[in-house]
A = this chain, B = another copy of it.
Amino acid sequence: MTKINVKKFGGTSVGSFERIEAVADAIARAHHEGERQVLVLSAMAGETNRLYAMAANIDPVASARELDMLVTAGEQVSIALMAMALERRGIKARSLLGSQVKIRTNNQFGRASIELVETNGLIGLLDAGVVPVIAGFQGVDGEGNITTLGRGGSDTTAVAVAAALNAAECQIFTDVCGVFTTDPNIDPNAQKLDSISFEAMYEMARQGAKVLHPDSVACARRHGVVLRVLSSFEPGSGTLIRFDEPDHTVSGIVGIAVSRGQGLVSVSGVVDNPPAEVALFKTLADACVDTDLVAQQPSERMLSFSLAQAEVNKVLALIDTLTGAHALGAVNYETELAKVSLISTGKPVMAELAARVTELLAAQNIRVRLVSTAEIKLSVMIDEKDLQQAVRSLHRAFNLNKV
């Protein structure tokens, strides 16, 4: 029995009639070569945002159930069009909604988790030579309500379907030709990686590499699904995300991930004041603020944390509600910062790495606001204006440039 490949195409890959036709051509070629394929599609580029905007026009705080009902119409259109394009090429195809596959989720509308993917129907179709074309991002709860998946969206659908079908590969087709050592828009010396370990890929995704969502990487690792990132615009074998062996690098650094639009909030009077610290983090967690790097400066009893710049005002207001009860000190904040993260292979001595990075940046008068390390990554916060210079110099220094 030929192994199955699950192929996920994102919004830009099905964003126009021309793109749909191009994808259908590629699927038809592979089909004629005997490949067993299951497609998972996003909505056409822009469509999901258009639908959310319609909802906002009716009710800016519309219920999550109705939002899910609304936006899942987007994938319904793209899968039907793709099935038509395949059928026009003489390929048997069948569009399938999440509810038709039976992608069962919990009932957390807008951020549902997949509990089960029924495979009998899909296997029946594959055995009959039919290409299933599945709507990504959507599922159905135990009562038949339509749900949408949380972060990761259609990638998560593809991974879950691949896991359920025990697919050979889960191929994520996107608008770049693979995973790069860093963002090629920031450093033209960025190299496409032929392969990368799951651990490094996960950390790259977490630290800002947009090609895959960290949750879908984690989901793939958990279920033993081999991922591959490929371009839907040009041929190539893309980047394989490997289970089996560690990354091979000259410098010990696999890649540099970048995250713009960061902010930094500092609150004094928190360190050594456990009730205040607990209250602060609990308040932030309740408001779903995703704080990232956290650093303490005991000398000033100051606690600093990074977060998305867009969240800064909300967080300042939240902290304001705590100052009375907890005798917090001065609150400072900065915006227009960027986070640059080096992802390592194995576990380097972080203190050494930190010293090297800060020295390198200091030599170029790039001010480092915060340094934070974790098992296989080191992040620094710098001014956004210094981003390109910092990335290029680190990329060169750690031997990631094209040779």
Chain A residues at the B interface, C-beta cutoff of 8 Å: 17, 20-21, 51, 54-55, 57-59, 62-63, 65-67, 69-70, 72-74, 76-77, 79-81, 83-85, 87-88, 94-95, 97, 99-100, 144-146
Q: Give Cα A77 to B50, complex, Å.
A: 11
Q: Give Cα A144 to B66, complex, Å.
A: 22
By secondary structure, the A interface counts as helix
Known contacts A62-B87, A63-B87; is-contact A55 B76 (Cβ 8 Å) = no
Q: Give Cα A63 to B89, complex, Å.
A: 12
Known contacts A73-B76, A73-B77; is-contact A85 B59 (Cβ 8 Å) = yes
Cβ–Cβ < 8 Å partners of A146 in chain B: 97
| Residues B100 and A84 in contact, CB atoms below 8 Å apart | no
Which 5 A-B pairs give the minimum distances between C-beta atoms? A70-B80, A69-B80, A73-B73, A59-B88, A62-B84
| Residues A77 and B63 in contact, CB atoms below 8 Å apart | no
List 7 interface pairs A-B (beta carbons < 8 Å), by A numbering. Answer: A17-B58, A59-B88, A62-B88, A63-B84, A70-B84, A73-B74, A76-B76
Q: Which one of B55, B72, B83, B145 contacts A84 once the chains associate, using CB atoms below 8 Å? A: B55
Q: Which one of B67, B79, B97, B99 contacts A80 once the chains associate, using CB atoms below 8 Å? A: B67
Cβ–Cβ < 8 Å partners of A69 in chain B: 76, 79-80, 83, 95, 97
| Residues B95 and A83 in contact, CB atoms below 8 Å apart | no
Cβ–Cβ < 8 Å partners of A54 in chain B: 17, 77, 81
Minimal beta-carbon separation of A115 from chain B (angstroms):
19
Cβ–Cβ < 8 Å partners of A66 in chain B: 80, 83-84, 87, 95
Q: Give Cα A103 to B158, complex, Å.
A: 30
Q: Give Cα A103 to B72, complex, Å.
A: 20
Q: Which one of B21, B58, B70, B95 contacts A76 once the chains associate, using CB atoms below 8 Å? A: B70
Q: Give Cα A337 to B313, complex, Å.
A: 69
Q: Give Cα A80 to B56, complex, Å.
A: 12
Q: Which residue of chain B has its CB nearest to the CB of A44?
A: B54
Q: Give Cα A94 to B58, complex, Å.
A: 15
Q: Which residue of chain B has its CB nearest to the CB of A61?
A: B88
Q: Give Cα A55 to B77, complex, Å.
A: 9
Minimal beta-carbon separation of A327 from chain B (angstroms):
42
Q: Give Cα A80 to B64, complex, Å.
A: 11
| Residues A58 and B72 in contact, CB atoms below 8 Å apart | no
Q: Give Cα A17 to B66, complex, Å.
A: 16
Minimal beta-carbon separation of A64 from chain B (angstroms):
11
Q: Which residue of chain B has its CB nearest to the CB of A77?
A: B73
